Amino acid sequence: MTERCIYLVRHGETAGESSIRYHGRNDVPLSDLGCRQVEGLIGLIRHVSFAAVIHSPLSRAKESARILVEGLLREPGVVEEAPDLTEVYFGEMEGMTDAEIAAALPEFYAEWKSGRAKGFPGGETYAAFDARVGTALDGLMARYPEGHLLIVAHMGIIRRGAGRLLQMSPEAMSKLNPALGSLTVLSCENSSNGPFQLKHWSLTSDPK
């Protein structure tokens, strides 16, 4: 049997503190810690031969992809930027912490935390984001029907991408929270388009 794997990497910590702030379209760079987090993943994928490496155009994902590609023993068939893999646009929430959102946008915050919100104020709706991610993922699977793929992107992209490939319910999908600088691996056998199984979830290293 031939195994096909989709490797999903979330970029590392940023100078904009992605661990506590909601950065969507904000183009914040990787911090030194973020670089080390991504470097720590190289040993997990060094020997993999990738048909393609695809990354978000935002610098935190682009730099993460560069670090990983430079650590591979085999040059990937293709390295490309995919604009539709940009993180969800948080609108008025961009760059805020949870506490700052609660103070600045109390009505929205209450709806959001109760699960009643349909999107982000001044930003993307959930439906539009889901459609964007779905279209991007379907396009990648069609362009690269064989071989392993490495996708370097953001929490929202990985959450919805993994959830879609694993055929999860929206409720279950919403609980997926890949760590910064983490690797998730989905696999399937004998079919380029699945069904996929979860092989590894949110693997991380201990950066020095």
Q: Six-digit token pair at 42?
A: 């190289």
| Number of other CB atoms surrounding residue 201 within 10 Å | 15
pLDDT of 191 > 90? The answer is no
The parent domain of residue 129 ranges over 3-89+124-203
Q: What is the mean pLDDT of the chain?
A: 95
| pLDDT band (50, 70, 90) for residue 1 | low
Residue 116 lies in a domain: no
Q: Is residue 41 part of a domain?
A: yes
Total domains in the fold of the chain: 1
What are the tens digits of pLDDT across the range 6-24?
A: 999 999 999 999 999 999 9
Q: Identify whether 94 is part of a domain.
A: no
Picking from 121, 126, 125, the residue whose alpha carbon sits closest to that of residue 105 is 121
- Residue 99 lies inside a defined structural domain of this protein: no
20 inside domain: yes
CB atoms within 10 A of CB 121: 17
Of 20-29, 68-77, 164-173, 189-198, the one with minimum mean pLDDT is: 189-198
- Residue 85 included in any domain: yes
> How much is the average pLDDT of 28-48?
97
CATH assignment of the domain containing 42: 3.40.50.1240
d(CA 82, CA 152): 10
* Kind plus residue range of the DSSP H or E element containing 23: none
Low-confidence winner among 46-50, 60-64, 142-146, 182-186 (lowest mean pLDDT)? 142-146
* Per-residue pLDDT at 190 exceeds 90: no
**pLDDT tens figures, 117-133:** 999 999 999 999 999 99
Residue 162 lies in a domain: yes
Q: Are strands 148-153 and 50-55 parallel, antiparallel or unpaired?
A: parallel
